[in-house]
Structure formats: structure tokens, C-alpha cells
Amino acid sequence: MTDCVFCKIVAGAIPASVVYEDESVVAFMDIGAVNPGHTLVVAKPHVADVFGLDDALAARVFQATARVARAVQAAFSPPGMSVYQANGAPAGQTVMHFHVHVVPRWPGDGMDLVWPVKNPPREELAANAAKIRAALTH
């Protein structure tokens, strides 16, 4: 896509600090890094979100994510690591080209995800699980 910033990076049309690349994935430093070592793992084809990944690309992206996470851990030795991925504006996605954040974490680094726990009753969990099982195609 011509006006997609990550497609431009994949094509080499704009610069990025690349840490890993193969035929399906490129990983580079996030320009707005939350902490030193914050890396984005990006699918090379223009796929907007997780729903657009086929099984092969999903496998390649997560294999690369785990590999990059191990390298970031070895390079920066953070006491924690967040692997974060957003789909759609309400989930916080700002670049509509699939990517995974690998974010080294330190206590008090200010990165916060509010997690409003609802503790629904078991019947509700069972009903929701049944709904998702029925929607699974493979």
C-alpha cells in the first residue's frame, strides 16, 4: 500500500533501524520507543490486523517475535518484557499494518494497561466458550 508507513519501511523507501529480517517478517526499532530496546515485529505483506494472517504467516511472525524477544532480553537484561499487539483503533492500533510490540519493562517505567477485571460467573464463561468453539473453523 503506497500510503502505509510500514509498507514503505518493508520496501526500503524510508529508513528504519532493522534488527531482523526474513522473507515474511521485518523487525525494527519503534520510533516512539517506550523503553530502550522497544522493537516492532512487522509482517511484510500488507495485512491490517491479526484477522488477516493465514496460519503460515502467523507462525512466522510469532517465531520471529520469540526470537527478537530473546535477543532484546539478552541485549538489555530487563526484569520484564511485554509482548503487545493491537487490532483496531479501540484497541489502540495506530498503524493499520500488522505488527507486534516487544517492549522491555522496568519497574516504574510508566507503561500502563488498565485491566478492569469483571470476574463473570462460571455460566457466563461457559456460554462465551461455547460461542467461540462454534465459531472456530479449524
Helix (H) or strand (E) holding 125: helix 122-135
* Coil, strand or helix at 70: helix
Q: How far is the CB of 99 from Zn ion (least distance, A)?
A: 10
Whether 38 is a known active-site residue: answer: no
Q: Distance between CA atoms of 101 and 84, rounded to whole angstroms? A: 5
Q: Distance between CA atoms of 94 and 92, rounded to whole angstroms? A: 6
Please identify which residue in the block is written with the cell numbers 478492569.
Answer: 116
Q: How far is the CB of 106 from ligand 5GP (least distance, A)?
A: 18
The interface with Zn ion within residues 5-44 (CB under 5 A) comprises 6-7
Interacting partner of 58 out of Zn ion, ligand 5GP, none (Cβ under 5 to 8 A depending on kind): none
**Sites of contact with Zn ion (CB under 5 A):** 1, 4, 6-7, 46, 97
Active centre residues (catalytic)? 99
